[in-house]
A and B are shown apart, each in its own frame.
Chain A
Amino acid sequence: MSANDLALAVTVTVMVAGAAGTVLTSDVPRLVISLGTFLLGVAAAFLVMGSPLLAVSQVFVYVGGVLVLVLFALMMVRRSGDEKPKVATRHDLGAAVIALGVFVLLAAVLGPVAADPTPVVTAPNEVGAILLGPSLVAFELVGVLLLAALLAVLVIVKGGEDS
Chain B
Amino acid sequence: MTFLWGLLWGLAAVMFIAGGAVIGVWWERKVAARIQMRLGPQQLGPAGVLQMIADVPKLLFKEDIVPDNADKPIFRYAPMAVFAPIAMSVAVIPFWAGWAPLDSTVGMVFYLAFPSIGVLGILLSAWSSHNTLATIGGMRAAAQMVSYEVPRSLAVLSVIVLAGSLQPTEVMDAWQWWWIPLTFVGFVVYFIASIAEMNRGPFDLPEAESELVAGYFSDYSGFRWAIFMMGEYGALISASLFGAAVFLGGYRWLPGVAGLAVFLVLAMVLITAVMWIKWTFPRLRQDQLMTFCWTVLTPLAIVQLVVAGVVALWL
User: A residues bordering B, Cβ < 8 Å?
Assistant: 28-30, 32-33, 36, 52-53, 55-57, 59-60, 63-65, 67-69, 71-72, 75-76, 78, 82, 123-125
Contacts and interface: CB of A to CB of B under 8 A. Distances in A.
B116 A72 contact: no
B71 interface: yes
Interface in B208-224: none
Interface size class of B (residues with CB under 8 A): 20 to 34
A59 B71 CA distance: 26
B199 to A, nearest CB: 14
A28 B145 CA distance: 21
Taking chain B's interface residues, is the majority helix, strand, or loop, or is none over half, making it mixed? Answer: helix
Nearest to B136: A75
Interface stretch (B36-44, B120-128, B250-258, B273-281): B120-128
A29 B71 contact: yes
Interface of B: 69, 71, 74, 104-106, 109-110, 112-114, 116-117, 119-120, 123-124, 126-128, 130, 135, 138-139, 142-143, 145-146, 149, 164-166
A142 B295 CA distance: 26
Contacts of A63: 116-117, 120
Contacts of B113: 56-57, 59-60, 64
Contacts of B166: 53, 124
Given A53-B109, A65-B116, A72 B139 contact: yes
A75 B71 CA distance: 15
A60 B112 contact: yes
B109 A64 contact: no
A125 B164 CA distance: 8
B315 to A, nearest CB: 15
